[in-house]
Amino acid sequence: MQRHALLCCTLMLATAASAQEPPEAARRLAQDATIVDTHIDAPGILMDKWADLGIEAPDREFDYPRARAGGLDVAFMSIYTSAKRDEDGTAWQAAHMQIDAVEALAARHPDRFAILRSPGDVDGLRAGGRVLLALGMENGAPIGDDLAELQRFFDRGVRYVTLAHSANNRISDSSYTLQKRWNGLSPFGREVVAEMNRLGIMVDVSHLSDAAVRQAVELSTVPVIASHSALRHFTPGFERNLSDELAQAIAAKGGVIQIPFGTAFVNPEAAQNIQAYFRAAYDFDRRNAELEAAGSPTEDRQAFEAQWEADHPTPSTKIDAVLDQVDHAVARVGVDHVGIGSDFDGVGGNLPDALRTVADYPNLVAGLQARGHSDADIRKILGGNLLRVWTEVEAGAGPR
């Protein structure tokens, strides 16, 4: 519910100051380390309302000035398509339009942005203070039934694909759906994983059902990622977050779990609310289908959504909730398999205190330092681990 479909009406101003200024040591490390954030939802908003993210954009959580202030080097732009777009056949067009928007942004500001297609290009392209824009496709719906579309999206720069999103699709079951379709991956989904391995596209298991995550990890010949998934240890019963067992399976394959910042993922009350929402929405849709079949007036979806929002306000959350996630992940899977995937611009402003925009990575660094993580380990968490995995996936690719 707190995702993209409601973003236009729930996006909050993202200019709130951090709870406190981070120490200078944290600022220096954030600027010196290579920070890779694997999930920023700027492209979808650009399609709804263009903003020049090369200059200050106060109604967004990502823009160039704040990215540089926070030390961000590589920002994976989320090429997101909804389940509805999958159903009505517009996912392919929407994905290409979002890629166009990212390319336009980079073309407007070649001194500030560059498109990143390979981890080996990071040092060269970021010279001069550029923020590098990599592409991750959130939801495999745009490829339709055609494996050849993966090659076409690879050629446009897509370097990870989240196999499904909020609903089951042709590729995989979703963690959010109450009724699974494939008991994991579909037969086509297994082909998709193999083709992604061949091309050098990272397989992203965020949003997938437990069975689908397990199967994707087993089938992939290279490490997989969870681009923005927290750990279920703190949110019991919330399948959207990874169990310790699944996180350990990803790590055993050499992969990385990218911890998100969104309140719904790291706050237990918010996680319970989103689980309850999907159950209520399922009941609402079933009830309306029955009313429609009986020839009776259906209930208003917009009114249902508005009432749900009113009855379930987002709880206030501190940065400690994210730090707890990182600590638990490091303890369970090892520091070499943990990273960050914020979900900035994708959760309607529902973020912890002190992690409100891309300017706030130094606050995360300060929190990790205060909890005893070494600077070397923090560098791994901020981006080193993800770049290692990306390099391995690229090296494992076959002829294209």
Q: What is the pLDDT of residues 204-246, one digit of tens each?
A: 999 999 999 999 999 999 999 999 999 999 999 999 999 999 9
Residues 67 and 56: their CA atoms lie apart, in Å, by 10
* pLDDT at residue 16 is higher than 60: no
179 plus 297 within the same structural domain = no
102 plus 122 within the same structural domain = yes
255 plus 216 within the same structural domain = yes
324 plus 310 within the same structural domain = no
Residue 11, pLDDT score: 37
Q: How confident is the model at residue 277 (pLDDT cuts 50, 70, 90)?
A: confident
170 plus 274 within the same structural domain = no
262 plus 324 within the same structural domain = yes
Please check whether residue 380 lies inside any domain of the structure. Answer: yes
Count: domains in the chain: 2
Please check whether residue 342 lies inside any domain of the structure. Answer: yes
Please check whether residue 141 lies inside any domain of the structure. Answer: yes
* Residues 12, 348 contacting (CB under 8 angstroms): yes
Residue 211, pLDDT score: 98
221, 247, 307, 313, 357 from 310: Cα distances, Å:
46, 34, 5, 6, 25
171 plus 285 within the same structural domain = no
303 plus 361 within the same structural domain = no
Please check whether residue 17 lies inside any domain of the structure. Answer: yes
155, 211, 351 from 239: Cα distances, Å:
33, 11, 20
Residue 334, pLDDT score: 98
Sequence-distant (6+) residues with CB within 8 A of 17 are: none
Residue 4, pLDDT score: 43
pLDDT digit string, tens, across residues 109-151 = 999 999 999 999 999 999 999 999 999 999 999 999 999 999 9
Please check whether residue 139 lies inside any domain of the structure. Answer: yes
Domain that holds residue 67: 4-267+315-395
- Tell me which of 279, 294, 314 is where a domain ends: 314
Please check whether residue 245 lies inside any domain of the structure. Answer: yes
* pLDDT at residue 12 is higher than 60: no
* pLDDT at residue 2 is higher than 70: no
170 plus 294 within the same structural domain = no
225 plus 282 within the same structural domain = no
Six token digits for residue 247:
């996180």
Residues 242 and 261: their CA atoms lie apart, in Å, by 15
206 plus 159 within the same structural domain = yes
Counting every residue written for the chain, the total comes to: 400
- Tell me which of 314, 345, 379 is where a domain ends: 314
99, 206, 264, 341, 356 from 60: Cα distances, Å:
18, 23, 19, 17, 10
- Tell me which of 288, 314, 340 is where a domain ends: 314
Task: Write b or e for each residue in 63-76: b if 16 or more Cβ atoms lie within 10 A of its Cβ, otherwise e.
Answer: bbebbbbbbbbbbb
SS3 of 258, please?
strand
Residue 301, pLDDT score: 86
Mean pLDDT, rounded, for 175-186? 96
Please check whether residue 400 lies inside any domain of the structure. Answer: no
User: pTM value?
Assistant: 0.92
Q: How confident is the model at residue 20 (pLDDT cuts 50, 70, 90)?
A: low
Please check whether residue 359 lies inside any domain of the structure. Answer: yes
Mean pLDDT, rounded, for 158-179? 97
136 plus 93 within the same structural domain = yes
- The domain spanning residue 150 has which CATH number? 3.20.20.140
